[in-house]
Every structure is written in structure tokens, then in C-alpha cells.
Structure 1
Amino acid sequence: MNTPQRPANAFRTAPQQPRPKAGHSSAQRLQKGGRWQKARLYIRERPLLERIYWFCIKAFLWLFFGSFGYVIVLKYVPVWVTPLVVARWVDTFGTDESSHVYKKWKSYDEINREAALAVVASEDQDFPTHWGFDFDEIQDAIKENQTRKRPRGASTISQQVAKNVFLWNGRSYIRKGLEVYFTALIELIWGKKRILEVYLNVAETGPMTFGVEAASERFYGHSAATLSRSEAARIAAVLPNPRQFSIKNPSNYVVRRTRQISRQMRYLGGQKYIRNL
């Protein structure tokens, strides 16, 4: 009985499988790479455009690392001057207003905790727990502002510090983007206690008056180390508009707002609420 002979080399006779075609994503990557190469070649063929390109790259790197280093320095050095202080000082030129700036830096430990608790209770009650942004408050503000004549803000204390210390006055997408950047940076590098310390020293508390120490000495006649709860609450009550509201001569609104803040300070549990910042 003859058995059928097997081919000498089965691999040679096996049908070849067709090669898989390049996927759509691979083709897209090649196309994008080609576009990038064309763009680089286009820039290289134009010396002026190439100089502008590298200038922009270097400027971006200098600004990025410079801002990073500046934030690190301000973690340890008092913030003596801010863009807001300069803007208010410039605004006095050609007017009858005094150009004298009331500002005195005090460390966190030299300021009564009632002042720290008052601004947290008034401005940002989730300050001890959030990472710089209160997204629930932002969503609520967006919904309310669709029907409100005067838009309600949702900035946290961290965002307000970022705006006051690093940015100029005004509203734009560029400024908002920088605000997000600096807010994240100080949350990462400074920490809560330092952010609150800076806020208590740079927040505008009256005409040409910045910080709770300057406000306490100017309007109460004593240091912020001895602030009472009601005095601290009144300072916090004028923070939304310290040029219109007065600590020394409070309006009915400021008096009512002071009482509300004092109640909130009590409901939060007093100074222990900010003990572990």
C-alpha cells in the first residue's frame, strides 16, 4: 500500500498570509509628522521667522521657570508690594486722595486666629479641604449668574491670593488662565497656612489700606493680635468691596453682615476649625 508523499518543505507550500495594512491611526501619525516637518522646514527657510520662533520658546521657558522660582521665594519672604497696591497708589495721582499706603506685614502667629477664622467663614468655608478651587460653588455661581443682574463670584481664598499677588486688574481669558496656574502653584508649594497668612496681609481692607494689621491699627487703634470676634468679623464683612464699605463707619449692611459672619464662625466650631492648616 503506497502512502501519499508529503511535500519536502511544508513552509514553502503554505499560502502566504497578506500583510496587515497600516491602521488609520498610524497613517494619521505619519501625516501629522509630515506636517510638523513641513512646518519646521518652512520656519528654517525664513531666518526672521526662525528668530521669532526661538525667542518665543526662550521667553516662555524664562517666564515659566521664573514664575516657579518667584513662588518659591515668596513662600519664605514677606509680600511687601502687590500689583493691586501699585494700582491703587497710581489711582491717587491728580486727585485729592492721600497717596499714603497703610500696610504692615505680620506673621500668621502674630495675628489673632479670630481674623483668620472670620475670613474663612466669610469668603471660603471649604478652604481647609479644597485644592484651590471650589467646583460646587463655581457651578452654583454659573447657574445663578444666568438670572442675576450683578454676577456673583466664586473665587476661593487661594484664587484671590493668586490674583492679588501675581496678576493685574481686569478680566480676560489670559488672566483667568494665569490665575488657575498660580492658584495650583501656591497650593502645591505654599500650603494652606502660608496662603492664609499672605491673604491676611495683602487683602484690601479699606481706602489705601491692606491687611488686617493695618486695618486694626487704623480703624480700631490696636494690633491685630488683640482683635475680638466682632472686630474680626467686621473686617471680613467689608472685604467684598472695601472701597465702598467702611470698618470705622459701618452701614446697616455691614452691621448685619458682621452678625452673620460671627454666627458662621460659631457654627464652624470656632478657632479649632482652622487649627490643622
Structure 2
Amino acid sequence: MRLVVRFLFKTLVGFLGLSLVLVLLFKFVPVPVTATMVMDGNGITKDWTSLSNIDRNMVRAVIAAEDGKFCTHDGFDREAIEKAIENNARGGRIKGGSTISQQTAKNVFLWQGGGYVRKGFEAWFTVLIEQIWGKRRIMEVYLNVAETGIGTYGVEAGARRYFGKSAASLTPLEAARMAAALPLPKERSVKNPRGWLARHGGTIAARVGVVRRDGLDACIYQ
């Protein structure tokens, strides 16, 4: 029993140490590859880009679409989590509970898919990146590792794929269409959205102005 306890203790200490090292490293170094990219059978097209070279419309669009409280929460939107739990208790489909910080932690350090074990690791890495990276770096990493299309990662590669230009000069509607497709990038059309998806993109584009007006991106552009 002592050997088992000692092994588990060493494993825990090793994990904590490794996770701290990785988070500290990626505070300054671009994330080279993620588990999602490695497991993508469609190849990898990406182009790491500094946040200063990504149009503010893109930042505001993902805040509007994914996480309106990004600048005010500590990594977790407790209201959204409570709603997801209530919905799950009724047998409904859980959605809308993950913040941009949680998605970034998952995308960089973990794997896709559900499960309480992965959620536990996700929470740990979310706390770390909130404390060590800060909001601006979290947003920068998120916009560089998020899947934006089939075999396409990051908004720079996505902008060049869909609009033939850099992410530095996206219009509110272009940014909104990319943000609208983020939850299901392999299935949702960015260039020629129709029906609900087109309307959803238009709604996000309108909210870009709200994010700007209300300073919901203030933690990034201080």
C-alpha cells in the first residue's frame, strides 16, 4: 500500500510540475501543435500570428459569440455552468457552459470530447492560465489554436482560406461569420452561410458593436 501511495504521490507531483512548466513556457512561446491537430486526418494548416496583427473585430466577434463575460470572470462563468447543470438534470443537451479560457485550456493541453476526468484537468489548466497568462495572452492563444475549418487552425489561416486576406483586416461581418462557425468548424460554412447560420453571423456582427461600445474587450486593449 505504501508503494502505491508513494507512486500516486510522485505521479501527482510530476503532473503538477509539468503542467506549471508548460503553462509558463507557452506564456512566451507560440504553441507548436495540439492534440487536436495531431489527430486531425485532414492535415494541419496554421500560421501563428501576434494578437497585435489580428483585427479587433475578430476579438470582439469571439467575445460576442462565445463569452460575453470574458473580461470579468475568473475563467469560469458560474451562471452558465449552473444553467448547463439544470439543463442536464432535465435530460437536455448541455451547451454554453465553457468560457474562452476553458476552451483554450482544453485546446492547448488536452483532448476533445467530454468526460469528468478531462473536465477536471481542464479546470486545473484554466486556473493556471488565468493566473499566469492573463486575458490578453489567453485570447491570443485561443485565436491561434482554435479550429477554423477542415484542417485549418487559427484565425490567420482561416481568414486567408475564406477571404483571401490576413486576419489583420477583417470586417465585422467576416469576423462574425468565422466566430459563428467556431463551435462546428468542419460543418458550418463561413464563406457562404445560409439560413440560421447566416442570421446568426449577422447577429454576432451586430454584437461586435456592442462589445466595442460597452468595453467588453477592455481587459485586452488596456
TM-score, normalised to structure 2, is 0.93
The amino acid of 1:77's aligned partner reads V
Establish whether residue 65 from structure 1 lines up as the match of residue 17 from structure 2: yes
CA contact (8 A) 2:27 2:137 kept: yes
Task: Return the alpha-carbon distance in structure 2 between the equivalents of residues 184 and 160 of structure 1.
Answer: 12
Among 26, 30, 41, which residue is 1:74 paired with? 26
Name the amino acid aligned to 1:82. Answer: T
Name the structure 1 match of 2:145.
202
Contact in 1 for aligned 2:101/2:138 (Cα 8 Å): yes
Comparing 52-61 with 121-130, greater Cα deviation is found at 52-61
Match of 1:223 among 139, 162, 166: 166
CA distance in 2 between partners of 1:269 and 1:169 (Å): 31
Residue 164 of structure 1 is matched in structure 2 by 107
Aligned to 1:274: 217
Alignment match, 1:87: 39
What corresponds to 2:61 in structure 1?
Answer: 118
User: Which residues of structure 1 form unaligned runs of 5+?
Assistant: 1-48, 93-98
- CA distance in 1 between counterparts of 2:219 and 2:4 reads 49
SS in 2 for 1:274: coil
The one-letter code of the counterpart of 1:214 is: A
| Aligned counterparts of 2:185 and 2:214: Cα–Cα separation in 1 | 25
TM-score (norm 1): 0.75
Deviation at 1:54, TM superposition (A): 2.3
* Correspondence for 1:186 among 121, 129, 133: 129
Aligned residues: 220
201 and 270 in structure 1: CA distance in 2 versus 1, 3 angstrom threshold: farther
Aligned with residue 259 of structure 1, among 187, 193, 202: 202
Tell me the equivalent position of 1:141.
84
CA distance 1:161–1:230, shift in 2 (3 Å): same
Matched, 1:212 2:148: no
Shift of 1:66: 1.1
> Whose RCO is larger (CA < 8 A, sep 6+)?
2
Q: Per-residue deviation at 1:173?
A: 1.8
The 1-side partners of 2:204 and 2:102 are apart by 21
Q: Give SS of 1:222's match.
A: coil
Query: Residue 174 of structure 1: CA displacement?
Result: 1.4
Q: Distance in 1 between matches of 2:107 and 2:10?
A: 27
The verdict on how the C-alpha distance between 1:132 and 1:245 changes in structure 2, with shifts beyond 3 A counting, is same
Which deviations, in whole Å up to 9, do the C-alpha atoms of 1:38-79 show, x marking residues without a partner?
A: xxxxxxxxxxx4434322222221111111111011000001
Which letter maps to 2:120? G
Unpaired segments ≥5 residues, structure 2: none
- Write out per-residue CA displacement over residues 82-125 of structure 1, whole angstroms, 9 at most, x where no aligned residue: 1111121xxx2xxxxxx331111001101011100000010000
The residue identity in structure 1 corresponding to 2:108 is V
Equivalence for 1:95: none
**1:116 & 1:170 partners in 2: Cα distance?**
25
Change (3 A) 1:160 1:173: same
Q: Between Structure 1 and Structure 2, whose CA radius of gyration is higher?
A: 1
